[in-house]
Structure 1
Amino acid sequence: MAQTTQTKAPTLRDRLGNGAFRAVMALALALPYRWRVPLTGWAVAYLVAPLAGYRDRVRDNLAQIRPDLPRAEVERLARAVPDNVGRTIAEIYSGEEFIDRVRSIPLEGPGAPALQAAQAAGRPVILATGHFGNYDVARAALIARGYRVGGLYKPMANPLFDAHYVQAISRIGTPLFPRGPKGLAEMVRFLKSGGMLGIVVDQHMGHGAPLTFFGVRAQTATSAAELALRYDAALIPIYGIRQPNGLDFRIHVEAPIPPGAPETMTQALNDSLESLVRAHMDQWFWIHRRWKAARR
């Protein structure tokens, strides 16, 4: 298991927040999976989100990005987005039960043949996704059917939370590589050996390129494209789309992004995710501060 890069001592706020989360998850994990997932979604949407300010952040982002939405739809999304976040957390912490739920989902979409061909040829692949649906569905399903898939992750600010979060995503599969110098060498060796690397590409990065998302400036890391170019890896967008019953998923694989300038390739990733979000507005994590640069 990849080691976390966190070194700071936990604060009192860290301890209180982590303790509350662990208590809620202990109760949730005592329930059957089919109840655990929707009840955790409800708890996050109606108990956590109002206190944490998630609903206000959803409203603020939508006011900036989709001011055309009717107020009733904004309020629906202010509840539905945290619900999806809560369901995702419950699924990731469910380990084998989650894996069993997703292992047999077929790969669909124009990029599925390219992904399967890369697996057969032992060619490295960068699997680019976003905080959409459940971002670990594809990794879990591919590992369960024998694909060598690693994951690049950003350590959490709360070191106590980070420790058990890494354990949870490790139960889905390894290797995992923390962002930064500590995980870079292992990640490069893994790619060179023909591994597939999952990267979430839709968070604000202050040092990233000034690209657009929903037509608004959004600083975006170009590392996925740069890795693909440097190690002759296929760059393939992939998503786990939550289905109407709230428990099942489709795995949609888009066509590989053609090689080119890293900024051009990364903008294509942004456009790919944007198209999917527009079709499923309640499945993207609108709680993120994605447009910090535009606000400044």
Structure 2
Amino acid sequence: MTDSPTSALPFGTRARYFLSNLVLRALFGLALSLPYRWRVPMMGWLASHVLAPITGWRRRVRQNLAHVMPDLPQAEVERLSRAVPDNAGRTLIEIYSGDDFTARARRAPIEGPGLAALEQARDQGRPVILMTAHFGNYDVARAALIARGHNMGALYRAMNNPYFNAHYVRSIGRIGLPLFQQGRRGMMQLVKHLRGGGVLGILTDLYAADGVPLPFFGKPALTSLVTAELALKYNAPLIPTFVLRAENGLDFTVILQEPIAPSDPETMTREANDRLEALVREHMDQWFWIHRRWKNADRKA
């Protein structure tokens, strides 16, 4: 019999993960009992006013902003410490909303020069890699492109909390398949998908322990080069793809930017960072400042 994902965890860690998962499931259950147009803003409010103070999200937002934008007015820092968790809470409950969410995501307009490049690659049977980020609601692009006939897969990183991860993966799987878990087996499946001319979405804005320190908001951030390496190896257009949340908090626009010109992995990844930074500066509250993006990146960029 195979050990469960929790069996190797210390008892204290296992208990903490179990209890935090119970709290989150209770909040999700409460939100999902409401109509979609109410549950999304309600979950945003709960994330901002209940979860954020408990989890340390507000503190993380303030720390990250102080690190890269120390001159930002304090009033704006406080606004973002509330608005960023609000967007994160909305994103979570949207992912758990099944058909209610995918129906809305499929109606999202797709804009930008990358759309023509994507469709041209499909006509030619070539793979495409979408470099995306924790901005707006990143899963909207996957649902919208699947609805338009693209063979869209996604690479994901398993959550640290195995109790939460189990139902989280089920939820993102309801939005669309295939999904590839980060790791050796997932990479093998991912390569097969690309060789078959599939489209692959990869979130590239997380801390990568084995990454290269590249500038992001003027500070070095350990960043994986794997996405650009895959694009070069499989001759796949590399298209920065972002989802912008509308002012009503419920609708979206999918933005497919001009593909990044092939060169070398580091140069291409630097440009991806620059593209994301430019968009975040225009919509500061839509990027997940709650992540430890600049962790251990004290080497020179």
Q: Retained in 1: the 8 A contact 2:220–2:298?
A: no
Q: Give the Cα separation in 1 of the matches to 2:153 and 2:113.
A: 23
Quote the offset at 1:29 in angstroms: 0.7
Q: Retained in 2: the 8 A contact 1:237–1:255?
A: yes
- Identity, in percent, stands at 58
Query: Secondary structure at the residue paired with 2:296?
Result: helix
Give the letter aligned to residue 121 of structure 1: Q
Query: Secondary structure at the residue paired with 1:289?
Result: coil
Q: Give the Cα separation in 1 of the matches to 2:60 and 2:254.
A: 28
Q: Give the Cα separation in 2 of the matches to 1:31 and 1:165.
A: 20
Q: Give the Cα separation in 2 of the matches to 1:107 and 1:156.
A: 29
Give the unaligned 5+ runs of structure 1: 1-5
Question: Aligned ranges for residues 5-44 of structure 1 at < 5 Å?
Answer: 7-9=5-7, 11-44=14-47
Structure-1 residue corresponding to 2:90: 87
Q: Are 2:108 and 1:97 equivalent residues in the alignment?
A: no
Q: Are 2:247 and 1:249 equivalent residues in the alignment?
A: no
Aligned length: 292
Partner residue of 1:197 out of 200, 209, 226: 200
Q: Give the Cα separation in 2 of the matches to 1:20 and 1:7.
A: 20
The alignment's TM-score, normalised by the length of structure 2, stands at 0.94
Q: Give the Cα separation in 2 of the matches to 1:21 and 1:172.
A: 20
Question: Aligned ranges for residues 43-54 of structure 1 at < 5 Å?
Answer: 43-54=46-57
Quote the offset at 1:78 in angstroms: 0.3
Q: Are 2:290 and 1:292 equivalent residues in the alignment?
A: no
Structure-2 residue corresponding to 1:3: none
Structure-1 residue corresponding to 2:190: 187
Quote the offset at 1:58 in angstroms: 0.4
Q: Retained in 2: the 8 A contact 1:217–1:293?
A: no
Q: Retained in 2: the 8 A contact 1:14–1:160?
A: yes
Query: Secondary structure at the residue paired with 1:68?
Result: coil
Structure-1 residue corresponding to 2:118: 115
Q: Give the Cα separation in 2 of the matches to 1:29 and 1:78.
A: 25
Question: Aligned ranges for residues 71-220 of structure 1 at < 5 Å?
Answer: 71-220=74-223
Give the unaligned 5+ runs of structure 2: none
Q: Retained in 2: the 8 A contact 1:108–1:252?
A: yes
Q: Give the Cα separation in 2 of the matches to 1:74 and 1:112.
A: 35
Q: Give the Cα separation in 2 of the matches to 1:95 and 1:164.
A: 12
Quote the offset at 1:121 in angstroms: 2.2
Quote the offset at 1:119 in angstroms: 2.2
